[in-house]
Structure 1
Amino acid sequence: MAGEIEGARERTRDIDTGAQLLSGQLGKTVQRLRKAYNLSLSELAEQSGVAKSIISQIERNETNPTLATIWRLSQALDVSIDRVLASDTDEPFIEKISRPDTPFLVSDDGRMRLAIIGWIKTVEWLQWYDVHSEPGGVLDSDAHQRGSVESLSVTEGAFEVDVAGAVQEVRAGESLRYRCDRPHTIRAIGEGPSRAIMVCILKAAVMD
């Protein structure tokens, strides 16, 4: 009987030790990811539904959170639970998206296709696209937020960009940056297919 009691105590100590190690790893990971996303404790609390005081205790290794709490934090930080619980705090962030899973937009004339290669988490302030166009393709865009800037880096063929009547050509190997907080049009003017990477930075600056 005494041996069974002692064995139970040892198992309990092992469980407690494992929980403490898990909490320590979790706290470091949550804090690292929160800072990487430039989130305050209050902002992470609002996004996750986990109390600010609890998140603070987790980061300081003062509590062992429930699985439900870990799940809410992982959802708010846009990572898997496995990654949140990973023991290696230097683990890199790697996300692979296959071509069939990459969403795309098509211009009204059907000649220009924009694969959305940007991260959905940044869509409100940063967007980027892989642009493919047949000769003569036209993409008309409304004005974005004031201060927004777009960059078109051409890798094949040539495009013409019209920003409120100001027209500029850009060819393979060249990049063109322009304000896109006013109506703008991109036309493929190459004799063959044209391709570019387009990046839109929303509210980049207050521009007069």
Structure 2
Amino acid sequence: MQEMSLHLAARLKALRAELGWSLDAAARETGVSKAMLGQIERGESSPTVATLWKIATGFRVSFSSFIEPTPDEQEQTLYRVADAIRQQPAGEGMQVAPLFPYEGRFGFELFELTLLPGYQRESEPHEPGVTEHVIVISGVMEVLTDGEWRTLMQGEAVRFAADRPHGYRNLGIAPAVFHNLIHYPGPRP
């Protein structure tokens, strides 16, 4: 967790410097308070998944870029083990394993996400053109699309426009594990 916080702090500082944004400007663009952004940059706060998404959307970068560095583009073959990279930002009820972090040459990032029992998250719209592809690996979960919660079971999948309100929840008593491929319409820094 400490490694993720250090990476996040450095990434946020670098993006602000690159864009020439003050903390006020970053707060305006992301919808995250200036105080919270400052705490994240100083490594004093571990933001929730929802807060990380707001920051990524405001800066117009991929979500995974805040979790770990982009892989070296020279690598043609990349092996990943979900158990070795799984994290639980802010101690929430969602575990995140960035199986394939965003790379501009591919235009997507792929996560293994685990929803612990009772977890629910409604997401604000991502930027225009972002799509999500959800494939349930184990358990039962619900996805909010087009204003309606729909149940997905193991082996079922859905693709939807993520530039509208959407969400995920697990009302069951066992974890729900799914893959989420997020495709971005244009290159990301």
TM-score by length of 1: 0.47
Distance 1:123 1:150, change over 3 A: farther
Alignment of 1:1-208 (within 5 A): 78-79=73-74, 93-97=76-80, 102=85, 104=87, 106=89, 110-122=92-104, 125-163=107-145, 165-203=147-185
Whether the 8 Å contact between 2:130 and 2:182 is mirrored in structure 1 is yes
Instruction: Go from structure 1 to structure 2 and tell me whether the alpha carbon gap of 1:176 and 1:120 turns closer, same or farther (over 3 Å shift).
Output: closer
- Identify which of structures 1 and 2 has the higher relative contact order when contacts are C-alpha pairs closer than 8 Å and 6+ apart: 2
**Which is greater in Rg?**
1
Amino acid across the alignment from 2:129: G
| Partner AA of 2:98 in structure 1 | I
Q: Is the 8 A contact 2:144 2:168 kept in 1?
A: yes
Q: CA deviation at 1:123?
A: 9.2
Deviation at 1:176, TM superposition (A): 1.4
Deviations 1:54-109 (A, max 9, x none): xxxxxxxxxxxxxxxxxxxxxxx8327xxxxxxxxxxxx22334557636453x67
Specify whether residues 131 and 160 from structure 1 end up closer, same or farther in structure 2 by C-alpha distance, changes over 3 A only.
Answer: same
Work out the CA distance in 2 between the residues paired with 1:183 and 1:114: 20
Question: Taking structure 1 as reference, are residues 189 and 176 closer, same or farther at Cα in structure 2, changes over 3 Å only?
Answer: farther
Identity in percent: 20
Q: Say if 1:109 and 1:138, in contact at 8 Å, map to a contact too.
A: no
Partner SS for 1:170: strand
Taking a change above 3 Å as real, the CA distance of residues 102 and 124 of structure 1, as seen in their structure-2 partners, is same
User: Hey, what does 2:8 align to over in structure 1?
Assistant: none
Equivalent residues of 1:145, 1:203 under 8 A apart: no
The root-mean-square deviation of aligned C-alpha atoms, in Å, is 2.9
TM-score by length of 2: 0.51
Structure richer in helix, relative to its length: 1
In structure 1, the gaps of 5 or more residues are: 1-76, 81-92
Cα distance between partner residues in 1 of 2:164 and 2:123: 9
Counterpart amino acid of residue 79 in structure 2:
K
Check the 8 A contact 2:115/2:170 in 1, yes or no: yes
Q: What CA distance in whole angstroms lies between the structure 2 residues aligned with 1:110 and 1:159?
A: 17
Shift of 1:120: 3.6
Following the alignment from structure 1 to structure 2, what is the Cα–Cα distance between the partners of residues 103 and 191? Answer: 21
- Structure 2 spans left out of the alignment, 5+ residues: 1-71
